[in-house]
Amino acid sequence: MRPPPRTKEVMINNQTIKLKYCFTCKIFRPPRASHCSLCDNCVERFDHHCPWVGNCVVSKTMTFVEAVKQSPVSVVEVIICFFSVWSILGLAGFHTYLIMSNLTTNEDIKGSFSKRNHISAKNPYSRGSIFSNCYSILCAPIGPSLIHRRSFVYCEE
């Protein structure tokens, strides 16, 4: 039996393109396709084989509309992720403010050092600058515990 020809010429946009024959898949490869030896098949618009994903990466990415048609649940997942990210960013921003002000969450909720009755109550624990407050919260050594976990508790009368 005679082997098939190695190339085949086709016209694309009035240009002659040679299609190569893949002896493994036994087909003429489409234009811009390559055979991936790891996946053992021909891949259109083959970019490279990613060892971390264990799959071929193609330069033609799936459009958003195609992805929604293929998996409509992904829209719900995107919405959940959107609100989750904003919640986490809000919480991180709030705690960054607390660290820069040298406040606790409880002090902020109670408004211990905020304006009461139009009188400004200054935070006595503030170190005076944002950097000093951040250093005192994040880098200062941890003080001794207020309780002794291994000692007995005696009732005072």
Q: Is 50 annotated as catalytic?
A: yes
Residue ranges in the chain assigned as alpha helix (H): 64-70, 73-101, 105-110, 130-138
Tell me which of 50, 134, 139, 155 is the catalytic residue: 50
Which class for 123: exposed (0-12), middle (13-18), buried (19 or more C-beta within 10 A)?
A: middle
- Those residues with Cβ within 8 angstroms of residue 138's Cβ, 6 or more apart along the chain or in another chain: 99
Q: Report the Cα 56 to chain-centroid distance in Å.
A: 22
Q: Which two tokens stand for residue 53?
A: 């994903």
| Residues identified as active-site | 50
